[in-house]
Amino acid sequence: MTNDHKITSIEQLEDLYGQPVPSSLTKEIDYISDHYRAFIEAAPFVVLATVGPDGMDCSPRGDPAGFVRVVDRHTVLIPDRRGNNRIDSLRNIVQDPRIALLFLIPGVGETMRINGRADIITDPELCASFAMQGKLPKSIIKITAQRVYFQCQKALARSGLWQEDAKINRSALPTAGEMSQALSVDQDFDGAAYDRDYPERMKKTMY
């Protein structure tokens, strides 16, 4: 591989790929339509991408469908549930409000995308309205939508993501405990114990 085959300009990209399919442009709007809202409210999972001075972050967020609250045609709210306190996405938002969301719905080939700007809100009443199992999120991510559109089915069809025979047995891959033990500086870290205790620990720390 040489630099002779490296794309370095928009002109080269456009020469290689040609013009966009017209429908790929008309489906992008600057508000959340009723059709698009239906997809957002049916999604139990969204990938959240942010950018900051130290780089980018892409984080999975999930809850029962409807957890991403559509407030109006330009605003959605996402509760920030309990995690590991790295808060990479939140750190980025504080420094650079640009954000992108990718919504997935089990069994559905199309995905929904929102690009916009985010704020972190800690209003007590708002946080209380997102309570789960009696636990409140510490903050709410408020997204102001600027570009909203759906993605066609090709990527999910090629991946077979929702097909039963595409599922991989979890035992075929390293466990969280095995990976953590291999990377731990603590020589006493017990990966097997971590894996054994995790199901019960997850019940207590889900929210």
- The per-residue pLDDT for 3 is 75
Which of 57, 47, 63, 60 shows the shortest CA–CA distance to 103? 47
Q: For residue range 66-109, what is the model confidence (pLDDT) as tens digits?
A: 999 999 999 999 999 999 999 999 999 999 999 999 999 999 99
**Is residue 2 pLDDT above 90, yes or no?**
no
> Which residues, other chains included, contact 178 with Cβ-Cβ below 8 Å and sequence gap of 6+?
191, 195
Structure token pair of residue 138: 């510490």
Helix (H) or strand (E) run with residue 182 in it = helix 176-183
Give the mean pLDDT of 135-142.
97
Decide if pLDDT at 157 tops 90: yes
Is the pLDDT reported for residue 1 higher than 80? Answer: no
Instruction: Express as a percent the part of the chain with pLDDT over 70.
Output: 100
Domain spans of the chain, in order of start: 19-159, 168-205
Name the fold adopted by 19-159. Pnp Oxidase; Chain A (2.30.110)
pTM of the model: 0.93
Helix (H) or strand (E) holding 180: helix 176-183
Q: What is the DSSP string of 115-144?
A: EEEEEEE--HHHHHTT-BTTB--SEEEEEE
Candidates 94, 58, 81, 76; CA nearest to 143 is 76
Average pLDDT, the chain: 95
Whether pLDDT at 197 is above 70: yes
Helix/strand/coil for 7: coil
Q: What is the rounded CA–CA span in Å between residue 144 and residue 114?
A: 9
